[in-house]
């Protein structure tokens, strides 16, 4: 099973600042990685797939990069609606699909 | 836009069976070649994939649930379902259904299932 590790667990950021979230895979997953955003009481929302492709309707301030074992989600200028928990998920080798433990982006 | 909706009991007793159905609307299971998945989230915890079913009924399960989990699909009703037997308090979670394109691109709103006597 591929283990996904996200860091940091919590990221404190001011409005308008840049946020950089990391996700590491326990073995190479090529670019088979997705990112999700989850707000309290809501289902996760797909942001990024294939490591860097924005899903339909996702603002350009969200960008993904990386391949192999190291991945990054960048939010270029945080808006109030971006404070949430972010999860990465690998789909390179499944079953099982595996998710990271999440990074909570909170207001500084 | 595809919509998914989970339905089923919100309370299940320990050792009994948890049954949930996901109804797909504004889209179709019939004739499609998509995969459909179930993900759960225990209170205050992260996301856990529990299973995926293909349109032809082929199913894949999380190893931790094998032997307890059964999934099915009814393309005529645009529904897919799960049954989890012998539940314990550890199965208490919000259960989500989603379209599974490797990534999960459309999600239901989720349904909280509490296992308690």
Interface test with B, best of A6, A23, A45, A96 (most B CBs within 10 A): A96
pLDDT at A98 over 80: yes
For residue B64, what is the DSSP state? G
The share of chain B scoring above pLDDT 90, in percent, equals 84
Go through B24-33 and write b for each residue having 16 or more CB atoms within 10 A of its CB, e for each that does not: beeeebeeee
CB contact under 8 A, A97 and B37: yes
For the stretch B10-50, pLDDT in tens is 999 999 999 999 999 877 666 566 899 999 999 999 999 99
The share of chain A scoring above pLDDT 90, in percent, equals 98
pLDDT at B77 over 60: yes
Q: Is the dihedral of CA A54, A34, A43, B77 positive or negative?
A: positive
Q: Of A45, A49, A87, which has the smallest distance from its Cβ to B47's Cβ?
A: A87
Which pLDDT belongs to residue B32?
A: 65
The share of chain A scoring above pLDDT 70, in percent, equals 100
The full 3-state SS of B10-52, as one line of letters, equals: CEECCCCCEEEEEEEECCCCCCCCCEEEEEEECCCCCCEEEEE
Q: Of B46, B61, B96, which has the smallest distance from its Cβ to A43's Cβ?
A: B96
Residue B63, SS3 per DSSP: helix
């Amino acid at each position: 099973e591929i283990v996904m590790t996200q860091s940091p667990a919590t990221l404190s950021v001011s409005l308008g600042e840049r946020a950089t979230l990391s996700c590491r895979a326990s073995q190479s997953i090529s670019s088979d990685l997705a990112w999700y955003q989850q707000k309290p009481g809501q289902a996760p929302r797909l942001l990024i797939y294939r490591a860097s492709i924005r899903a339909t309707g996702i603002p350009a301030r969200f960008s993904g990069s990386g391949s192999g074992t190291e991945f990054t989600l960048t939010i270029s200028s945080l808006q109030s609606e971006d404070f949430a928990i972010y999860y990465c998920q690998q789909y390179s080798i499944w079953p099982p699909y595996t998710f990271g433990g999440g990074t909570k982006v909170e207001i500084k | 836009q595809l919509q998914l909706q989970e339905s089923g009991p919100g309370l299940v007793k320990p050792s009994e069976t948890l049954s949930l159905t996901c109804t797909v609307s504004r889209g179709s299971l019939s004739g499609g070649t998509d995969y459909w998945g179930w993900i759960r989230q225990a209170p205050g915890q992260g996301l856990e994939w529990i299973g995926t079913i293909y349109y032809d009924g082929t199913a894949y399960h999380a190893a931790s649930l094998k032997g307890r989990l059964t999934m099915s699909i009814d393309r005529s009703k645009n529904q897919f379902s799960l049954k989890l037997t012998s539940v314990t308090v550890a199965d208490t979670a919000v259960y989500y259904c989603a379209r599974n394109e490797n990534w999960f691109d459309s999600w239901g709103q989720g349904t909280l299932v509490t296992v308690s006597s």
